[in-house]
Amino acid sequence: MRIRALAIRIIKQFLRDKRTLAMLFLAPLLILSLMKLVFDGQAVSPAIGMTQPPAAIAEKLEQLNADVTSYGSAEEAQSAIENGELDAILQLNEAGAPELTLEGSDPSINRSVLILLQKALQTGGASAAPAVSYLHGGPDMAPFDSFGPVLIGFFSFFFVFLLAGVSFLRERTSGTLERLLATPIRRSEIVAGYLAGFGIFTLLQASLIAWYSVDVLGLYMAGSIGYMLIINLLLSLTALTLGTLLTSFASSEFQIIQFIPIVIVPQAFFSGLFNLDAMNPWLQKLSFIMPLYYGADAMQGIMIRGEGWGDFQTNVYVLVGFSLLFALLNVLALKKHRRM
């Protein structure tokens, strides 16, 4: 009887908590459906630029599903690969031997281009293997060097989101927030104060991750570690403002964790860990509303391609915009506790 009574009480608790039921039954279906859409997208064709290409080689590359574009000059092709429009350039030198320039930031694409070119040259009439050079990275660049910058941004975002949400919720459930609201302090001042307090530890975390990734793990670093730190800090600030905002819709630490399948997991899918070009075009557009997409893109540009401020400043402005938006929504969310 006692076991049955305890079991019935737990069942009733679950039935009253609709959010827990949704996480238990609907969240796995949502994530599986998203994975289906991500991994069953379209095939990715390497983009190869060619200048004065031998017809047989160009035709064979197209038969192998490469996206071949002809350019009138080597300068045009070089500009295209520097702008990220090409994965490789194939051209003939003055002696008629093939030369291949790889964009180099993604080792998996590099291997794909090399395999396609090897097959094309075997049947395209070329007798010599191409001389290979890299615009970014090099032949020794490991896969972890490619997606490591994305992981740095992801873990910074994830842990700050989780800890900020739990900590801010504890402030609310312990009555500290209500006591603050009973004073003349403004809602905007409360939000700014909490963000400043949490922000100090966010800055320390961002600095620690940047140093550890480069100096201890030895991740490939072509750009400025200062720029890397700025992006990591902005990502953490965005996670901080988002985490504190979502506490308005939670009443316990467990409910904060329930936001992870809805808020954090989709960020991972659209951050660059998986090739966005392989997704359906309509699905790719969802990345534009994901803060982690902009942070990871900037981190990869800085660490792998050595980009400067002018190359990633748009990502900075977007992350600042997300942070300001979430901070403003935090101020508005406090209205339900006190109207000023």
Whether residues 89 and 169 fall in one domain? no
pLDDT band at 339 (very low <50, low <70, confident <90, very high): very low
Whether residues 53 and 183 fall in one domain? no
pLDDT band at 323 (very low <50, low <70, confident <90, very high): very high
Whether residues 192 and 215 fall in one domain? yes
What's this model's pTM, rounded to 2 decimal places?
A: 0.81
Considering 134, 152, 168, which residue would you say is the last residue of a domain?
134
Whether residues 105 and 156 fall in one domain? no
Identify whether 35 is part of a domain.
no
Whether residues 174 and 303 fall in one domain? yes
The answer to whether 296 and 153 have CB atoms below 8 angstroms apart is yes
Domain that holds residue 117: 47-134
Identify whether 12 is part of a domain.
no
Give pLDDT tens digits for 70-120.
887 888 888 888 888 888 888 877 766 778 888 888 888 888 888 888 877
Instruction: Transcribe 251-297 into DSSP letters.
Output: SSHHHHHTTIIIIIHHHHHTTTSS-GGGS-HHHHGGGGG-HHHHHHH
Whether residues 167 and 263 fall in one domain? yes
Considering 96, 114, 134, which residue would you say is the last residue of a domain?
134
Whether residues 97 and 157 fall in one domain? no
- CATH number, domain with residue 118: 3.40.190
Whether residues 248 and 224 fall in one domain? yes
At residue 102, the 3 state secondary structure works out as strand
Whether residues 205 and 309 fall in one domain? yes
Tell me the C-alpha distance between 165 and 179, whole Å.
Answer: 19
Whether residues 208 and 322 fall in one domain? yes
Residue 201, pLDDT > 60, answer: yes
Identify whether 14 is part of a domain.
no
Considering 89, 111, 134, which residue would you say is the last residue of a domain?
134
Identify whether 127 is part of a domain.
yes
Q: In the chain, how many domains are there? A: 2
The answer to whether 169 and 246 have CB atoms below 8 angstroms apart is no
Identify whether 5 is part of a domain.
no
Give pLDDT tens digits for 27-83.
777 777 777 776 666 667 788 888 876 667 777 777 777 788 888 788 888 888 888
Tell me the C-alpha distance between 105 and 69, whole Å.
Answer: 20
Identify whether 18 is part of a domain.
no
Identify whether 37 is part of a domain.
no
Residue (of 131, 127, 52, 137) closest to 87 by Cα position: 137
**Hunting for tokens 């905002």 — which residue is that?**
245
The answer to whether 323 and 238 have CB atoms below 8 angstroms apart is yes
Residue 127, pLDDT > 70, answer: no
Identify whether 9 is part of a domain.
no
Tell me the C-alpha distance between 137 and 205, whole Å.
Answer: 27
